[in-house]
A and B are shown apart, each in its own frame.
Chain A
């Protein structure tokens, strides 16, 4: 799970840092507003706690052992933003001082485990434990599932990062320059271990911890509930946005079923292609298109080349995969823009 140096290309590392940065800033601002002078000691101790939890080798059924990352329990007790900071700091110390995980790949590790892991853990726990009493069994189950989902989401993201390397970065002879396995190998290989052992360890630790806290320290489980300071109306509005975005992301592959080109989305080369001309005529009530592309369109076409032309990056050999990847990438950008806009607008538009 801790990606060492040399597995990811410099471009991937830089992109991971760029994606992680807004989340770090949001987490910092949010924590500062909420905790003031308590922030530094609280984060320092909980980063250390996350580090120590990673050293707890839990005996698993079948005679093996595994360790948890702690994103589940820290998200449940302190909330996702505190968890993002605490686990990121723990990962940075592991990378710098103990050589566990790379320095160049620290951004990717933080993105996978601290950011995505914490947000998935928090969201799934909130969803599954909604309305449950502090002492209810449902909270234990929700925590266990949250931990399991979080570590597997982080593992899946890491596997995708690995799997994209040979597609994007290889030399003229086809030698992969970084992680050598394509998605078809990287995803099953990573998920096999995480859906079983690592996932089970996170599931047992998170669920077991919540069960223990219910008996011994229920006040720690109610910390998050007492800290929520979002106006209900704002929360409802942003929730709708999140649901809408999730629906769009889920439905995006339906675009693969649509045939032909959307009306008006024609490129310059389509005017010279007989099949495309026929489609244009059909879509335009049998009105014949111009013989050549309008001059303005031809001039403008050379100005802008989208990073994902026709929703399929050049490096992706399967157009279907490229389409879905583009949809996810676009949705991710929209999500990021929404988070930043809501933050700049002073209305929290993300989980608190």
Chain B
């Protein structure tokens, strides 16, 4: 993963490849633990039924990509900020995990649009004489605004809802049970395999006298990936046997324990109205 993500501070590119992997594992674990801790706090979003929250935040994300005016995007972004503050999510965390990451990635992609999108020239850069067009400026603002707004809502969903609740909410909303089970198990095994991989690299590193050359490093990565692949196979066989021995016959059942309250509906209604309003305005 080398693009924008919630992993705070982005991905480390310096240092030994094993160090980078261990760093990635630590950050993924940190993100998971942070999300769990924040989801237990008392806040506006934490108090909502996960199904309602999932629908409402998805509706607001869709509103973000439907918006045809920058002012609408700005309002949605402000709404994300207000929701974060009311849900005990600090703006510093939003900045570190969403805004900065999006700014560095999408900002770099949006920047050339200032000069490349044809239109009415607003002003020219001194020395270079490159013209910045109004259309270019607005298109860059649209791209960055949409990416920032969507990332803020997505991060709020993840930080204020335990992962298992997100999955249960998905199931309640009609997502196939198989996909929900797969997501739950995959999430678990990501950490198992990440830990296995970082231990493998650490073991290899502790037996090396000097940093490996490029060719040797590539060989190590390929061989480690191969070992990990065979371990993954072995793990899947063991898990399968464990499931079958506990009565698994191909059918998956999930427990539901969600109850909606009037305030959930009060939150959902305006959230669903936002994209409808945008569509009605465009029509």
Chain A positions near chain B (C-beta within 8 angstroms) = 1-2, 4-10, 13, 28, 36-38, 40-49, 51-61, 65, 67, 73, 77, 85, 89-90, 92-104, 166, 171, 173-181, 185, 204-205, 207-209, 211-213, 216-217, 220
Contacts and interface: CB of A to CB of B under 8 A. Distances in A.
Task: Report whether over half of chain B's contact residues are helix, strand or loop; otherwise say mixed.
Answer: helix
Contact of A180 (B21, B66, B116, B149): B116
B221 A97 contact: no
Contacts of B186: 43-45, 47-48, 51, 89-90, 93
Most chain A beta carbons < 10 A, residue from B105, B138, B226:
B226
Given A5-B65, A99-B155, A175-B139, A56 B221 contact: yes
B217 A52 contact: no
B210 interface: no
A204 B220 CA distance: 12
Interface string B178-198: 110111011111101110010
Interface of B: 1-7, 11, 13, 17, 20-21, 24-25, 28, 31-32, 58, 61-62, 64-66, 68, 97-98, 101-102, 105-106, 110, 112-113, 116-119, 134-136, 138-140, 142-143, 145-147, 149-151, 154-155, 157-158, 163, 166, 178-179, 181-183, 185-190, 192-194, 197, 214, 217-219, 221-230, 232-233, 235-237, 239-240, 243-244, 248-250, 252
Contacts of A90: 186
A14 to B, nearest CB: 10
Contact of A4 (B7, B117, B118, B150): B150
Contacts of A9: 65
A160 B157 CA distance: 31
Given A4-B3, A6-B146, A176 B117 contact: yes
Given A44-B239, A56-B17, A212-B226, 5 more contacts: A28-B178, A55-B1, A99-B151, A100-B1, A180-B143
Contacts, number: 278
Contacts of A207: 222
A209 B17 contact: no
Contacts of B221: 56, 58-59, 205, 208
A5 B226 contact: no
A56 to B, nearest CB: 6
B146 A208 contact: no
5 contacts: A5-B147, A43-B186, A104-B65, A181-B113, A185-B116
